[in-house]
């Protein structure tokens, strides 16, 4: 619970200070095992701090609100709202001079230094794995390593950031770190630095945990999405999912399926490709994560400015059987959820050689589509007929709560206008401060 947010919201409503303090103390006692006297003192201190930071008008200390919440816009939910928000972030950053920058909407960023490509990527742990720290650390580390590999880079180090709310058990950071380093040690990529903090300091009570893991890698040849070319084929490996599938299994009671996600198949397949002579012939790679294949193919088509065609029947056969059965029973779209498969984009001759390499290490792969000239759009072949293959507002709803939230959606076009204005305001502020400090 964000006690600062609670106090600020109630103060804005014009409620009397004593009423806010009393009610906030009640909320604190619901979570913290403490005396009412301490809870009242705590609530009073919170209100003092909130009052001291209310009514500020300084340019640096204020921002233009969009009037649209993160949840309502689907930020972080790997759908159309999330993709729109990330393109706004790219506009705020602007042209960075990077070899692969945020404007490319790729899995990792790339700069050149010392005659090599330096690749950096970071992934946040799955928000619903807060109560399962080892699983959270394991899957977020796999995710950041995947993003490094699909840029054609060899990972050389990991860094970690872990935040646990005030009432969270200290052991969470240990179990999380064990999950991170399990993957790191098995792939010979060391965890070298990081940060450990409380979420919101004293202002957030409860046990919630969040964090991220990042990777730095080096490469001689990069496989960015923009390098896809007409005539390329899409080769996809079998996937059993990661944090998203584990979360689905946990919160729907399919606990045996969680174990299917504990593997290093993707990383070993990618490492074999990086170490082979085939890498220089591969145009692009990605992992099937952001909103599933629906989201990834949509972004690739837009980035490469080409038409991407996908055969549904071939994709279905690449989902781990136990995972696929769970998704079907729960009516969750396999094309709209993260599968953690490797997607390789290359000419037919290279694809055939890649399939042979993967088969030799026991990794199943099938050609699921092709790249064509034409309108830059994703297309799905279903039952022999073409249909649009667009991401939904959010990725496929994969928990009971997400299925409820999915039904509630405001006017997206109206929200986009408001979000766009807020992004423009942030860019204008950035330019004002740069001008002042130059």
State the total domains in the chain: 3
Is 44 a domain residue?
yes
Looking at 222, 251, 273, the residue that finishes a domain is 222
Q: Do 255 and 304 sit in the same domain of this protein?
A: yes
Minimal CA–CA distance to 187: which of 143, 222, 228, 252? 143
What pLDDT does 100 receive? 87
Query: Which residue pairs from 351-360 have beta carbons closer than 8 angstroms and sit at least 24 positions apart in sequence?
Result: 351/233, 351/235, 353/278, 353/281, 354/235, 354/273, 354/278, 354/282, 355/235, 357/272, 357/273, 357/276, 357/278, 358/237, 358/269, 358/272
Query: Which residue pairs from 269-272 have beta carbons closer than 8 angstroms and sit at least 24 positions apart in sequence?
Result: 269/237, 269/342, 269/358, 269/361, 269/363, 270/146, 270/149, 270/150, 270/342, 271/149, 271/154, 271/187, 272/357, 272/358, 272/361
What pLDDT does 77 receive? 78
Is 435 a domain residue?
no
CA distance 87 to 220: 28
Which residues, given as ranges, of the chain have pLDDT below 70? 406-410
Q: Do 10 and 118 sit in the same domain of this protein?
A: no
Q: Which residues of 266-287 are buried (b: 16+ CB within 10 A; e: fewer)?
A: bbbbbbbbbeeebbeebbbbbb
pLDDT tens sequence across 404-428:
776 556 688 899 999 999 999 999 9
Alpha carbon distances (Å) from 132 to 118, 171, 207, 244, 427: 33, 11, 12, 13, 38
pLDDT tens sequence across 226-282:
899 999 999 999 999 999 999 999 999 999 999 999 999 999 999 999 999 999 999
Q: Which residue has the tokens 């007409």?
A: 230
Q: Do 276 and 400 sit in the same domain of this protein?
A: yes
Strand 191-198 to strand 154-164: parallel, antiparallel, or no bridges (unpaired)? parallel
Q: Do 209 and 242 sit in the same domain of this protein?
A: no
Is 424 a domain residue?
no
* Rounded (10°) CA dihedral 246, 251, 254, 256: 50
pTM higher than 0.95: no
Q: Do 205 and 274 sit in the same domain of this protein?
A: no
Which CATH number fits the domain that encloses residue 121?
3.30.1330.10
Q: Do 280 and 395 sit in the same domain of this protein?
A: yes
* Domain span at 285: 224-405
Is 84 a domain residue?
no
What pLDDT does 290 receive? 72
Question: What would the two tokens of residue 81 be?
Answer: 């709202």
Is 128 a domain residue?
yes
24: left (phi over 0), alpha (psi -120 to 50) or beta: alpha
Q: Do 315 and 374 sit in the same domain of this protein?
A: yes
What pLDDT does 274 receive? 94
Q: Do 252 and 377 sit in the same domain of this protein?
A: yes
Three-class secondary structure assignment of the chain: CEHHHHHHHHHHCCCCHHHHHHHHHHHHHHHCCCCHHHHHHHHHHHHHHHHHCCCCCCCCCCCCCCCCCHHHHCCCCCCHHHHHHHHHHHHHHCCCCCCECHHHCCCCEEEEECCEEEEEEEEECCHHHCCCHHHHHHHHHHHHHHHHHCCCCEEEEEEEEEEECCCCCCHHHHHHHHHHHHHHHHCCCCEEEEEEEECCHHHECCCCEEEEEEEEEEECCCCCHHHCCCCCEEEEECECCCHHHHHHHHHHCCHHHHHHHCCCHHHHHHHHHHCCCCHHHCCEEEECCCCHHHHHHHHHHHHHCCEEEEEHHHHHCCECHHHHHHHHHCCCCHHHCCCCCEEEEECHHHHHHHHHHHHHCCCCEEEEEEEECCCCCEEEEECCEEEECCCCCCCCCCCHHHHHHHCCCCCHHHHHHHHHHHHHHHHHHHHHHHHHHC
Is 430 a domain residue?
no
Residue 327, C-beta contacts closer than 8 angstroms, at least 6 positions apart: 248, 319, 333, 334, 337
Q: Do 31 and 144 sit in the same domain of this protein?
A: no
What pLDDT does 408 receive? 52
Q: Do 246 and 217 sit in the same domain of this protein?
A: no
Which CATH number fits the domain that encloses residue 313?
3.90.650.10
What pLDDT does 102 receive? 81
φ/ψ (deg, to 5) at 184: -60, -45
Is 175 a domain residue?
yes
What pLDDT does 185 receive? 97
CA angle 49, 50, 53 (to 5 degrees): 90
Q: Do 176 and 279 sit in the same domain of this protein?
A: no
Looking at 156, 191, 222, the residue that finishes a domain is 222
Is 67 a domain residue?
no
Q: Which residue has the tokens 């619970």?
A: 1
Q: Do 388 and 299 sit in the same domain of this protein?
A: yes
């Amino acid at each position: 619970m964000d006690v600062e947010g609670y106090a600020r919201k109630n103060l804005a409503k014009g409620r009397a200070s004593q009423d806010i303090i009393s009610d906030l103390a009640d909320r604190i006692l619901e979570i913290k095992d403490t005396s009412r006297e301490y809870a009242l003192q705590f609530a009073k201190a919170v209100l003092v701090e909130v009052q001291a930071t209310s009514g500020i008008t300084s340019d640096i200390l204020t921002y233009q609100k969009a009037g649209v919440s993160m949840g309502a816009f689907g930020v972080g939910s790997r759908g159309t709202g999330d993709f729109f928000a990330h393109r706004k972030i790219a506009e705020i950053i602007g042209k960075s001079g990077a070899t692969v920058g945020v404007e490319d909407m790729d899995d990792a960023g790339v700069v050149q230094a010392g005659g090599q490509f330096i690749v950096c990527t970071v992934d946040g742990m799955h928000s619903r794995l807060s109560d399962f720290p080892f699983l959270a650390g394991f899957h977020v580390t796999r995710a950041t390593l995947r993003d490094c590999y699909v840029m054609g880079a060899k990972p050389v180090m990991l860094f970690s950031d872990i935040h646990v709310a005030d009432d969270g058990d200290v052991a969470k950071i240990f179990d999380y770190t064990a999950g991170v380093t399990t993957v790191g040690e098995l792939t010979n990529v060391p965890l070298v630095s990081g940060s450990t903090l409380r979420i919101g300091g004293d202002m957030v009570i409860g046990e919630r945990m969040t964090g991220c893991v990042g990777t730095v890698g080096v490469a001689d040849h990069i496989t960015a999405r923009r390098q896809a070319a007409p005539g390329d084929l899409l080769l996809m490996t079998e996937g059993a999912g990661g944090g998203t599938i584990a979360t689905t299994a946990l919160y729907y009671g399919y606990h045996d399926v969680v174990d299917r996600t504990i593997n290093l198949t993707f990383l070993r397949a990618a490492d074999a490709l990086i170490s082979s002579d085939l890498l220089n012939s591969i145009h692009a790679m990605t992992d099937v994560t952001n909103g599933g294949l629906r989201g990834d193919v949509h972004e690739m088509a837009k980035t490469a400015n080409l038409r991407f065609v996908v055969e549904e029947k071939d994709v279905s056969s690449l989902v781990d059987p136990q995972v696929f059965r769970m998704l079907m029973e729960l009516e969750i779209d396999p094309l709209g959820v993260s599968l953690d498969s490797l997607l390789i984009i290359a000419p037919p001759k290279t694809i055939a050689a890649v399939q042979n390499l993967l088969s030799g290490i026991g990794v199943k792969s099938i050609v699921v589509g092709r790249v064509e000239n034409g309108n830059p759009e994703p297309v799905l072949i279903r039952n022999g007929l073409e249909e649009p293959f667009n991401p939904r507002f959010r990725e496929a709803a994969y928990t009971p709560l997400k299925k409820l939230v999915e039904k509630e959606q405001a006017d997206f076009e109206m929200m986009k206008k408001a979000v766009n204005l807020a992004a423009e305001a942030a860019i204008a502020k950035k330019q004002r401060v740069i001008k002042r400090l130059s």
